[in-house]
Structure 1
């Protein structure tokens, strides 16, 4: 990609979109969560929460300490069969994850809630895991498998999705296994601009919504000063 010397106030259209990172505006991720089955609130620590379907779903933006979430990632998504039950699956995304990509996932969750099903899709492992890879391979990502799992690598080698299924054994706490990993990195090997992870029991159609947005050819508009330092030198401004 060509290097950009655009100033902080010049609009950029990073492509691929996963190099965009967050611009600090998180409304896009919460926008699909509307209607009587959702309620939103800010807690005493300044974190923002959306609870859906009688609190069986929790989407949290957690920049500060919160007793509802472990201190990993900025974004937390959890699903449970009822509000007092243990978590069935969870997902987490880091600070610079583009909210437009998270919005693809929250849009899918909102559709599951609106389905009105007695067995909401977000609580069942609907779809074959292979469907997660289809948007990536169709976009030219290189897919491979090994004895440990599967991997898809972006054409520019700056993003990858991996799946490492939990192995059976008494020492493995499978309820907390984050088997799906998404990571965007830089060419010089610095810290990843952003990452996301999904529990192994996350329904495949939800992860597919995320990988579909990840592989989208549609660029996202950003101002230069909203890009993380690790990504700025990779951007071809337009």
Structure 2
């Protein structure tokens, strides 16, 4: 087999969070179908899915936009009605595996299908403990430090942190993006990818994302699509 053929062959990547992006976002949009969803591409090359009468927005935004906060390639927002202020938002960076994002958007789409005046994606459904229980069952180590709860992957390369906003003298230190997910190739350097979720994001949606994050099922990539700094860390490469 030639080197070119080897580089183009698809291989299973485990742990899956080291796979990075496959260069597309189709997986995250694939199940957002039916009359409740409208998809379009704008003149800047950004791709959008609007759902449930404009109450949901999922955006793949390659170009930097100063009106978007927090900064990231992926943006997901929920509102009580079209044009209203956001109830919660989420953002993911460029190399976030779209298959993991798809777990979140699939759960979001299921909520939208149920519909109603108070859909599950606008309710405080589930409890944060659900997230920690699922990660513990997957072999992650959960610890508490001050107001924060953290779960570390067995290889210490991925972590999930929850720091809920709190009132009082330390309120100015609280973050609205209470849920943080970060994946690294080691102790030094920038994160391979990250995700942030607003404190009002329903726990069952966070659980969908973290369940996909910690799943033992590999993701399939070509070797030349893998981040160079993680190739030595991936089983089977």
> Using a 3 Å threshold, how does the CA distance of structure 1 residues 105 and 140 change in structure 2: closer, same or farther?
same
Deviations 1:130-184 (A, max 9, x none): 111122110100001121210000000100000011121486497x710100000
Determine if the alignment matches structure 1 residue 219 to structure 2 residue 232: no
Match in the other structure for 2:191: 192
TM-score w.r.t. structure 1 length?
A: 0.91
Instruction: Give SS of 2:229's match.
Output: helix
Report the Cα distance in structure 2 between the residues aligned to 1:168 and 1:200, rounded to whole angstroms. Answer: 13
Q: Is the 1:8–1:223 contact (alpha carbons within 8 Å) kept by the matching residues of 2? A: yes
Alignment length (residue pairs): 232
For residue 110 of structure 1, what is the aligned residue in structure 2?
109
User: Does structure 1 retain, via aligned residues, the 8 Å contact 2:160–2:179?
Assistant: yes
The structure with the largest helix share of the pair is 2
Q: Which runs of 5+ in 2 are unaligned?
A: none
Q: Which residue of structure 1 lines up, in the alignment, with residue 228 of structure 2?
A: 229
Which residue is 2:130 aligned to?
Answer: 131
RMSD: 1.9
In structure 1, the partner of 2:94 is: 95
Does 2:155 match 1:148? no
SS at match of 2:130: helix
**Post-superposition offset of 1:125:** 1.0
Higher relative contact order (CA 8 A, sep 6+): 1
CA distance in 1, matches of 2:71, 2:44: 16
Q: Which residue of 2 aligns with 1:59?
A: 58
* TM superposition score normalised by structure 2: 0.92
Please identify, of 224-233 and 83-92, the stretch whose mean Cα deviation from structure 2 is larger.
224-233
1:71: Cα distance to partner?
6.2
Give the C-alpha shift of residue 53 in structure 1.
0.5
SS at structure 1 position matched to 2:58:
strand
1:17-74 CA deviation, whole Å, 9 max, x = no partner?
1111111121000011111010011111110000001111000000114476236110
Counterparts of 1:108 and 1:68 in 2: how far apart (Å)?
27
Name the counterpart of 2:160.
Answer: 161
The aligned residue for residue 179 of structure 2 is: 180
Mapped contact 1:14–1:221 kept (Cα < 8 A): yes
The aligned counterpart of 1:42 is 41
- In structure 2, distance between residues paired with 1:68 and 1:45: 14
